[in-house]
Amino acid sequence: MQQSRFAAIGWSTITPYPVDFRIGDFSNGIGWNLAGNLETLNIAVKEWVGRLAYQLTDR
């Protein structure tokens, strides 16, 4: 689906790659770090809301 959208505007060679890759430091284990876990949840919710908005606006 994304490839057809790029092709429609004349972009034929698009190579996707991650641009804001985040990885946690699990040296102390996952643990019960409430603040850190809430921040991770906040980032995930923003990403999913953005994806939903793009689907609803047909972008």
Buried b (16+ CB within 10 A) or exposed e, 13-24: eeeeeeeeeeee
| Tokens (6 digits) for 38 | 């809430």
Give the C-alpha separation, 38 to 40, whole Å: 5
pLDDT band with cut points at 50, 70 and 90 for residue 9: confident
Q: What percent of the chain has pLDDT over 90?
A: 17
Instruction: Quote the CA–CA distance of 57 and 7 in Å, as a whole number.
Output: 19
* Chain centre distance of CA 20: 8
* Count of domains observed in the chain: 1
Q: Does this model's pTM top 0.75?
A: no
Domain that includes residue 38, residue range: 2-56
- Which has the closest alpha carbon to 5: 51, 48, 58? 58
Q: What tens digit of pLDDT does each residue of 33-58 get?
A: 788 778 888 988 999 999 999 889 98
